[in-house]
Amino acid sequence: MTIRWGVSPIAWANDDMPELGKDTTLDMLLNDVREIGFEGVELGHKFPREAFALKPIMANYGLDIVGGWYSASLLVRDADAEIAALADHLALLEAMGSTVFILAETSNAVHGDRSSQLDSHPRLSEDEWRRFGARLDAVAAHVNKRGLRFAYHHHLGTAVETDADLRRFFDVTDSQVGLVLDTGHAFYGGIDAVKIVQERPERVNHVHCKDVRVAEHERLLADGASFLDGVVGGMFTVPGDGDYDYRPFLHALASIDYAGWIVIEAEQDPATAEPRTYQQLGLDTLKRLAREAGMTV
């Protein structure tokens, strides 16, 4: 049971809100990641997207590229068109030796719209679910055949947000369609991450750990805030600084002999949540709890 520890660059430079961390350079980011003690980092908008440029940078810091978010449009185009659209991203990950391919459907997503409220998300008809599932199966088969682990990212403000959405997602896809199990998005979406690990271990291909601040989320909901307002307003934080109990979650991962990346991903404003301090807390907290759960860290 081998665990590797990674981090998302979103704590330093936010992809959905580039103004957060806009003055942070890639060198500053990677220096922090290395000195904190992470083994790898996911892609973000500060990273070059050509292997010839990215490889020497990552080699200089001794870090791996874990993977990186890919925005899909499977509700509006077929699997062949999506496979063609993702080809460059997949080729970059292959060249960088990455092991996971993260995909989320964003053709109808609202999480990037500051006029959209936290308590609203897209909903699919039965025909859309069936079509979506069949296309996901085909795309996942293509990615898996190339040697990466396909991992779908459930996310607030998207078609797969709630427990009911995730259950329907499982129904319309087969086991080759793996999952990014994200504790923060799960909690706010009403998904019990521990139960998902226990009931669908074959689907858990990648793990994102972000903690939650329940009081902040409730305040933002009452104010009619958007997802991005929630990020700035502090509804997420790192493990060890919020309200989510990670002990049962890590024990659940240990019980299925989970092997792969555990990525700390805290969507916060770096001006108010200094990235190096917070990410160090997150890594130290999870490593300690993982050891308690009997995991090799």
Whichever domain contains 225, its CATH number is 3.20.20.150
Q: What is the pLDDT of residue 1?
A: 55
- Expressed as residue numbers, the domain containing 210 is 3-292
Report helix, strand or coil for 237: strand
pLDDT over 60 (residue 62): yes
Q: Across all residues in the chain, what is the average pLDDT?
A: 97
Task: Kindly state whether residue 22 falls inside one of the protein's structural domains.
Answer: yes
pLDDT over 80 (residue 160): yes
Confidence band of 247 (pLDDT split at 50, 70, 90): very high
Confidence band of 297 (pLDDT split at 50, 70, 90): confident
Which residue, 146, 154, 148, 197, is CA-closest to 173?
A: 154
Task: Kindly state whether residue 297 falls inside one of the protein's structural domains.
Answer: no
Q: How many separate domains does the chain show? A: 1
Q: What is the pLDDT of residue 275?
A: 97
Residues with Cβ < 8 Å from 146, sequence gap 6 or more? 90, 94
Q: What is the pLDDT of residue 22?
A: 95
Q: What is the pLDDT of residue 213?
A: 98
**Mean pLDDT, rounded, for 227-238:** 96
N residues, the chain: 297
Q: What is the pLDDT of residue 2?
A: 87
Task: Kindly state whether residue 279 falls inside one of the protein's structural domains.
Answer: yes
**Mean pLDDT, rounded, for 130-144:** 98
> Whole-model pTM?
0.97
Q: What is the pLDDT of residue 188?
A: 98
